[in-house]
Amino acid sequence: MPLRAFIDEQEVLAPLISDGDWEALKLQRNKQVCLPCCGADGYLRTSKQSTKHFVHKHKTGCDWKPETWQHLLAKTEILRVCQRLGYDAKTEVAGSDWRADVLATKPGKQGLIQIAFEVQWSPQTLEVTQDRQAKYKRDGIRGCWFFQRPPESDVSHDLPIFKLSLDSDNSLVVQTKNKSTPLSQFVEDLLSRRIRFCDHYQIKKTQNAKIVFFPTECWKCKKQSYIYYLENPYYTCCGEEVEDYCCEIPRRFRPEVIAAVRSFLKTDAAKKIRMGEIKTRYSKTVEDSYISFGCSWCNALFGDFYYFGEVNNAIYGDDGSTHTVWETQLTVTESNILDYETHWCYPENGDFCI
């Protein structure tokens, strides 16, 4: 069901025609509607979802496949955004051995910018997608794909693939790891360079931290010392939650956290908190040295197994009456590059990863 046709030799893009003009065109007699996909006659139709499109008048040898209303709606939204941003955009544009759902072109500093948008509401294998993308690349066209069910693949700059779905209102949205964005907004942000491919995640420079101090009984001398855990996570520039295993050192021992804790312990709010020094200690269990909490009385090592057991008990096993909660803002100054996972970075404020 094409969105583009020639009516009396004048090119018409259905999504750009007003409802009134569309109805007037439908009532117009003796008009010739030619479909560019095969040159056959067609007619105007409006779907149950109010999407304006063209249909073949008779069965022909055309290889045009029926399209769902979701596919038509996606093409319509993409076309309108491209046009609004100054691109010369058309639907169902054919090359020597390809046909783009939407082809957007615009003069650039280094020549003509050409972007092909493809919507795959039905399944398509990665191999077929790669083959079609290679044809676009050969012809100097950048391809961008929206899949209802994306094929399994690594995130790639050369093959942009994004997940497309319907929300509860039957509106098209693009699903990224940490948010859901209306398709039209996502395409606008993509064309406006508010989405960028990055090789690494980067921890956001400013982090809101909630540090919870709680008492624990030393396994060795049985006296009480305090340790702490961070209740909320760190985030990357684009809003991804940072897992401790992705970092060189655990978040609780990052330099900015230790510096902030040392400053807090000097305040009146921390008078009752007695903590052992955070430093490198030797563990006989693992036969290695690592940074750790320790007893403020006997300097016994509070190893990782001990620590996580105490944190679990502090969160789920007591009423928190002996806890001290401190909320602060931390400035990350080092070790903020995470050496894993290329990704399409989509930050709220334009502060990209690298």
pLDDT tens per residue across span 132-152? 999 999 999 999 999 999 999
Please give the backbone phi and psi of residue 341, each rounded to the nearest 5 degrees, phi first.
65, 100
What span, in angstroms and rounded, lies between the C-alpha atoms of 212 and 79?
51
Residue 144 confidence (pLDDT) = 98
pLDDT tens per residue across span 172-226? 999 998 899 999 999 999 999 999 999 999 999 999 999 999 999 999 999 999 9
Model confidence at 253, pLDDT cuts 50, 70, 90, reads very high
Model confidence at 48, pLDDT cuts 50, 70, 90, reads confident
Model confidence at 342, pLDDT cuts 50, 70, 90, reads very high
Tell me the HSE value of 350 on the side-chain side, using a 13 A CA sphere: 3
Model confidence at 81, pLDDT cuts 50, 70, 90, reads very high
**Whole-prediction pTM:** 0.83
- Percent of the chain whose predicted confidence (pLDDT) is above 70: 99
Query: Taking 90 as the threshold, does the pLDDT of residue 337 lie above it?
Result: no
Of the candidates 160, 180, 189, the one whose C-alpha atom is nearest the C-alpha of residue 349 is 189
Q: What DSSP character marks residue 150? A: P
Instruction: Read off the pLDDT of each residue in 261-275 and give the average, rounded to a whole number.
Output: 97
